[in-house]
């Protein structure tokens, strides 16, 4: 059997099952694959097949024995974390009151703190704790109340909780209160993240239409990309020379329905931001969804309407990295549904070599099959259901026959 036909027949039931829900599975050949580490840039044609940057992708390799092997991979964008540094927090005071221990901490008041890590010495503490913040040590604001903190180990179990997450606070002073115990707070740290300047790829704007809605007092810009893409960076080019400050909303078209008056579109709000003549007109977004049709709406209120020269969208570069330990024919499956698969190599990114082979995208499998076999066996869905029904009947027949034989023996 032709290998491409073999792959196609394996994937056909999946495509059929998901067709009703408008879920799609696209399969491409992988070319120039070598043993060891390989990388692949996810170009527009691949991202177009995905519902988001977290959609499901699988790499499969078919060896000489026709066994299908799943290849682990990771996807990295050019918006990387350079490094994470642990910054110490100074412990300046400790008091005991009403059966509780209070620790006063001093942190960098210019740094947004998203998490704190606590280290206790002596007998390990385990119990309820609270964290407050202040800029003058007079008025304290509750940040986190009654969270579990400490560590306990016995023969049966180990319970450990040394950190508090999702703080997003910016205070000069912090106060940690714990239940009174023989354990002492020895150190407190928080993480500071350093990012590289991301590399962006400019995307082509296929259509651009601008209009002023006098009733709603808004300027509306509709623009279309050549593929379904995520916008991570947007340059807005305003024609007006006067000073302005306007609220703006970026939407994406998620659905459309036909009516007697034409098509009616359903929009999803992606980002809200402010256009300001005294500030940059470049905006960074973080949402991972992929869309083709976008709408930018600017609220003019009673001010002169804003007009635009153009809009320039950008996205990150996405690189897929995978290690191939066997030889064979390799394929990549891209779905616009599901969630990204995570493998062990996500935990060992620092061990992945920087220099590796560059593999390429080949032909799309379903396109190739259609060209080679213009009248495939399952061109009519009734054939598929017929074969399934026949298999059920045959299995049922042999099951009844075995049951009769067992009855006779007994």
Q: Are residues 249 and 288 in the same domain?
A: yes
0.85 cut: is pTM over it? Answer: no
Last residue of a domain, one of 176, 195, 214: 195
The fraction of the chain above a pLDDT of 90, given in percent, is 27
Range(s) of the domain holding residue 211: 201-316
Q: Is the dihedral of CA 186, 102, 123, 114 positive or negative?
A: negative
Are 324 and 371 in a shared domain?
A: yes
Are the CB atoms for 144 and 131 separated by under 8 Å?
A: yes
pLDDT at 403 exceeding the cut of 50: yes
- Render pLDDT for 130-176 as a digit per residue (tens, 0 to 9): 899 998 888 999 988 878 787 766 666 666 677 887 777 888 899 99
Nearest 5°: phi and psi at 342?
-110, 140
Same domain, 364 and 260: no
Query: Is residue 212 located within the same domain as residue 297?
Result: yes
- Structure-derived torsion over alpha carbons of residues 386, 387, 390, 395, reported in degrees to the nearest 10: -150
Q: Which of 329, 285, 320, 343 lies closest to 43 in space, CA to CA?
A: 320
pLDDT tens column, 196-223: 667 788 999 999 999 999 999 999 999 9
Dump the DSSP string for 241-272: -S--EEEEEEEEEEEEEEETTEEEEEEEEEEE
Burial 87-108 (b: 16+ CB within 10 A, else e): eebebeeeeeeeeebbbbbbbe
Q: Is the pLDDT of residue 312 over 60?
A: yes
Tell me: do 220 and 253 sit in the same domain: yes
Residues 96 and 109 in one domain: yes
Instruction: Give every CB contact of residue 228 below 8 A, 6+ residues apart in sequence.
Output: 47, 48, 50, 290, 291, 292
For residue 221, the domain's CATH number is 2.60.120.260
280 and 295 part of one domain = yes
The band of 18, judged by pLDDT with boundaries at 50, 70 and 90, is: very low
Tell me what pLDDT residue 45 has: 86
**pLDDT of amino acid 255:** 87
Listed residues 295, 316, 337: the one ending a domain: 316
Torsion 229-231-232-234 (CA) sign: positive
Same-domain pairing of 354 and 394: no
Residues 131, 213: one domain? no
Q: Quick one: 227 and 249 in the same domain?
A: yes
Task: Tell me the C-alpha distance between 296 and 205, whole Å.
Answer: 14
Say how many domains are in the chain.
4
Residue where one domain finishes, among candidates 292, 316, 340: 316
In this structure, the answer to whether residues 94 and 25 fall within a common structural domain is no
- Same structural domain for residues 99 and 59? no
Residues 6+ apart with CB under 8 A from 338: 55, 56
Q: Tens digits of per-residue pLDDT, 234-285?
A: 999 898 889 999 999 999 998 888 888 778 889 999 988 888 887 767 888 8
């Amino acid at each position: 059997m032709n290998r491409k036909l073999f792959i196609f027949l394996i994937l056909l039931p999946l495509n059929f099952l998901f067709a009703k829900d408008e879920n799609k599975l696209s399969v491409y050949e992988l070319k120039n694959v070598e043993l060891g580490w390989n990388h692949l840039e996810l170009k527009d044609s691949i991202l177009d097949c995905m519902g988001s940057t977290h959609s499901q992708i699988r790499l499969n390799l078919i060896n000489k024995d026709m066994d299908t092997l799943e290849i682990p991979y990771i996807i990295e964008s050019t918006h990387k974390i350079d490094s994470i540094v642990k910054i110490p927090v100074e412990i300046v005071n400790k008091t005991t009151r009403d059966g509780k221990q209070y620790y006063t901490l001093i942190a960098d008041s210019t740094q947004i703190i998203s998490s704190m890590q606590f280290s206790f010495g002596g007998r390990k503490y385990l119990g309820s704790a609270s964290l407050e913040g202040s800029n003058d040590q007079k008025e304290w604001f509750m940040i986190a109340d009654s969270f579990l903190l400490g560590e306990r180990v016995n023969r049966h179990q180990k319970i450990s909780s040394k950190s508090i997450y999702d703080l997003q606070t910016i205070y000069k002073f912090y106060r940690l209160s714990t239940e009174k115990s023989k354990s002492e707070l020895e150190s407190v740290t928080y993480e500071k993240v350093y990012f590289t300047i991301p590399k962006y790829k400019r995307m082509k704007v296929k259509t651009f239409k601008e209009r002023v809605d006098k009733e709603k007092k808004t300027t509306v810009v509709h623009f279309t990309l050549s593929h379904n893409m995520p916008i991570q960076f947007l340059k807005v080019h305003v024609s007006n020379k006067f000073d302005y400050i306007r609220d703006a909303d970026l939407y994406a078209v998620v659905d459309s329905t036909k009516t007697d008056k034409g098509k009616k579109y359903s929009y999803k709000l992606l980002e809200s931001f402010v256009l300001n003549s005294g500030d940059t007109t470049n905006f960074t977004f973080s949402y991972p969804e992929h869309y083709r049709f976008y709408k930018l709406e600017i609220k003019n209120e009673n001010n002169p309407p804003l007009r635009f020269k153009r809009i320039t969208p950008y996205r990150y570069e996405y690189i897929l990295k995978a290690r191939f330990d066997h030889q064979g024919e390799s394929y990549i499956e891209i779905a616009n549904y599901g969630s990204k698969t995570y493998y062990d190599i996500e935990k060992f990114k620092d061990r992945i070599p920087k220099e590796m082979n560059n593999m390429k995208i080949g032909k799309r499998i379903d396109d190739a099959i259609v060209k080679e076999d213009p009248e495939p066996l399952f061109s009519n869905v009734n054939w598929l259901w017929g074969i399934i029904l026949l298999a059920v009947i045959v299995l049922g027949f042999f099951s009844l026959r075995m049951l009769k034989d067992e009855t006779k023996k007994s």
